Every structure is written in structure tokens, then in C-alpha cells.
Amino acid sequence: MRGSFFAAVLGLLLLVMGGLFWYASQQRLPAGLTVSGWHVGGMPFTAFDAALDARIAALGRTPVQLRTSAYGLPPLQTTYAQLGVQASAAELRRQLDGLRRGTPWERAGERWRLRHASLELRVTLPPADLAAALRAAWKPLFEAKPVDAQRVITPDDRVTYVAEQTVPRIDAAKLAEALLAAAPKIASLAGERGAGVAIADVPLVQEAPRVTVASLRAEGIERKIAQFTTEYVVSSAGRRHNIESTAATVQDMMLKPGDVFDYAKVIENTQKTFGYQEAPVILDGKIVPGVGGGICQVSTTLYNAVLRSGLEIVERRNHSLPISYVPLGQDATFSTGYINFRFRNNTGYGLLIRTVAANGMLTVKLFGRLPEDISYDIDSKIVKTIEPPVKYVKNSSLRRGEQRKVLDGKRGFVVETTRIKRQNGKIIGTELISRDTYSPQPTVIAINSGADAGDGEGTELPAPHVEDGIAGPKFR
């Protein structure tokens, strides 16, 4: 009896094993399975593979007509495949791979799991691929470039703007979404060409340039806040070239809030772009032939505009000798590697520098934002006069004991400059800007004393640096 029981159990086990093997070995899809609404349950594997490929191909062949009003472009006749449609058949097959691979137990478990399941065939249309396909057909939509807005300063110094120009661009993401929404469903395709799809209005967006009127206005260039003019009518051709070339480099320079203007960089850029010509420079307190003479007229003119706009002076020094085109105490010299002119835009807004150098007149205008009831005056006063020293030079051609004046000396000065701040014409603050010393030029006397001549006391630069130029002297 015990033998009969074991035989019965063994038979049942073999029956179950056989059924499981049969269940796992079926070459058909599980009953009730759908793929994107397409009923594929019970379909042989090979038939499903062929039908899936056929339906994907039919989707790709589906004709598409795209229209746009931009640039009067003609309608585009194309297909989903040409536009870059992608159907993830491999991904779908990986989901079904467990029906064909693995142990009988694993295949049977996967078949049981997928019965009456609903899988999706993922169909995508990457916007980048779509845009690339459209670029070849509708070149004008991609070749047109937006135009930056422009700030225009009128002859009467008003700040105006020329609006930017936008261009239409295809919104590839929205177009891809619309095309996929209108695409025939895999369930409706049976290997034939799908029904045509027409998009009446291709979605467009307007591409703006990097510079817009809004971005320009945000810089805070509202009006002219200061202006100063100096004259260079009597300058030589070389000095005129140096002044006008340096002014051209400064023209339309824009300083952001907190930026520091660096005149040394202006000189360097001007030298590279225009080159400097021969014109007198200052060397060791004397006017001598050199290269770059006149560059300090630009820095001085700019300095005066800066003073009158309340900007912060970071670095500035006066010439060693008085100059003629501005009052004492209101000049700004330059010496490569030794003396620079720098100021900071402390207005909290953008600052635009404009220059006009023509007909012997140099004008610097500053545009930005400054309360209209605020103004600045500049007051420079001589607080000390320095008498010229006497300098003796030996001249053996004179009679023994004879002396002769060769050059009259010139006085030097100590000058204090104050900036006066006003609101509605009323003084609300004063600031000592500088205390400058202009060296006297010695009276030169030739003498023949029969011995070495001594020099009287004099005030000279501690080292001979070229001012108001970039090199010197130049003697022919």
C-alpha cells in the first residue's frame, strides 16, 4: 500500500513537471498581453517579431506635412522616420526576453507574470534630431540671427535706444510633442503606410539677442553726468596723433559698478592699435624730444570730468611741471611703470565714457546715473610759491670770473584742490582731493671761475622718468 502511495505521488509530480515544462516551452506570447493597445496575446514569437518590425516601419513611413508662416516658407512634406522618430523595439523585446531564456521555472514564472499585462512601446522624437532634420529643409529659420539692441547718444547728448530684433525659431520640443500626439498608434498599424499627419502651425518662439533694450537700461546709463574740454590747437602733428589715438581707445569704454579704470591699459592698447609718434615729453623736469607726447592731455581731461562727477580717485599725480591747458592742481600725469591714473566707478550703476577729439579740441563726457540735484565744483588754490633755485654751469669760453645768465628760472607751486558737493546749488560737503607740488625750474648761470662750478639748490625728480609720453629723449 505504501508503494502505491509513492507511485501516485511520483506520478502527480511528473504530471505537474510535465505541465510546467509544457507551459514554459510555449512559443507564443502569454494570453491577454497587449502592447500599446495592440492585442498580441497568443501570437507566436516569430509572428510578433515580424509584425512589430512592420508596424514600426509603417509608423516611420507615415507622411507628415508641416507648415509655418515664417519667412513665407513652403510646406514641408516629410515622414516620421525622416524627422528622427525612434521606437524602442529593443527595450520592449528585453521586457519579453524572459519568456525565451532561463530555466523552465523562470520562463514559467515570467509567462505567468505577463499574462494580461499591458506593455508600452516607447516612441520618441528627440528635439535635437527633429531640429537637425528641419534645419536642412528650412534654412532661413536657422540662419537668421537676432540683432542686438543699441544705445545711441544723440548730438545733444540724450541717451536713446534702437530696439533689438528677434528672430523666429522652431520650438522643437513642442513640435515633437505635437507630432507624437498626432502619430498613428501602433495598434492601428498593420504593416501599411499610416494615415498622413498635418501640423498646420509649427510652434515658434522668438529668439532674442544677448543685448536687449531692457539689459541696456538695466546698466543705468540715464544721462550725461559730467563733461570737460581742453584745447590742443597749437600741438604738433605727432602730438595731435597721440591725443586723438588715445582718445579713440577710451571712446565708449564701459565701467561696471565697482570697476577701476586703468590708464596704463589704455596706453598699452593704443600703442598696439595705433602706435605713438614723436612729440615732446617731460624728462627729469625738462621738456625734451620723445615719443608719445600729449597722452597726459587725455588723462587730464578725463580726470577733470571724473572730478566733476563725484567718482572715487584711486591713483593720480600731477605733472612735475605746470601745464597750460588746465589750472594747477587739476592735471593727471602718466609715466610707464611709475605713475598711473586710476579711478573707481562708485556710482552703483554703469558708467560710459565718450570722447571727441577733433579740430584741436578734446572733450570727455561721462554718462551714467547721478541725482539731477547733485553737482560738483572744483576749487584749486596756490598755498605756497617756491622760488627758483640757481644752477651754475661751467663755461670756459667766458673770461675768468665772468658769469652770464643762460636761462631764467620759473617758480614752483604747492596747490591744494578741493571738491565741493552741492545739492540744488547748496553746499552739502567738501573734500580735499590733492596737495600737489610743481617743481621750480632753476635759473641757469654760466660761469668761469677757474675752478669747478657748484650747483645751487634745486628741486628735481628723484629719478629721471618720462612723463606725458612713453619714451625719450629723441635727438636727431
How does pLDDT run across 133-175, given as a tens digit for each residue? 888 888 888 899 999 999 999 999 999 999 999 999 899 899 9
Instruction: State the pLDDT confidence band at 455, using cuts at 50, 70 and 90.
Output: very low
- Through-space distance between the first and last CA atoms of the chain, rounded to whole angstroms: 137
What pLDDT was estimated at residue 19?
Answer: 60
In angstroms, the CA 141 to CA 72 distance is: 10
How does pLDDT run across 167-215, given as a tens digit for each residue? 998 998 999 999 998 888 888 887 555 567 778 788 999 999 999 999 9
CA 261-263-265 angle, 5° bins: 95
List Cβ neighbours of 271 (8 Å cut-off, separation of 6 or more).
Answer: 470
Instruction: State the pLDDT confidence band at 454, using cuts at 50, 70 and 90.
Output: very low
How does pLDDT run across 307-337, given as a tens digit for each residue? 999 999 999 999 988 989 999 999 999 999 9
| Amino acid identity, position 286 | K
What pLDDT was estimated at residue 188?
Answer: 85
How does pLDDT run across 358-415, given as a tens digit for each residue? 999 999 999 999 999 999 999 999 999 999 999 888 888 878 878 888 788 889 999 9
Percent of the residues in the chain that have a pLDDT greater than 70, as a whole number: 91
What pLDDT was estimated at residue 16?
Answer: 52
In angstroms, the CA 82 to CA 136 distance is: 11
Residue of higher predicted confidence among 117 and 453: 117
In angstroms, the CA 124 to CA 440 distance is: 85
Residue of higher predicted confidence among 336 and 455: 336
What pLDDT was estimated at residue 347?
Answer: 95
Angle, helices 263-273 vs 237-250, to 10°: value is: 120
Angle, helices 45-61 vs 89-96, to 10°: value is: 160
What pLDDT was estimated at residue 284?
Answer: 76
In angstroms, the CA 430 to CA 113 distance is: 89
What pLDDT was estimated at residue 458?
Answer: 36
pLDDT at 460 over 50: no
What pLDDT was estimated at residue 376?
Answer: 96
Strand partners, 243: none
What pLDDT was estimated at residue 451?
Answer: 57
pLDDT at 464 over 50: yes
What pLDDT was estimated at residue 419?
Answer: 97
Q: Are strands 34-35 and 118-119 parallel, antiparallel or unpaired?
A: parallel
Q: Identify the top-confidence range among 50-64, 90-104, 244-258.
A: 244-258
Is 51 within 8 Å of 136 (Cβ atoms)?
Answer: no
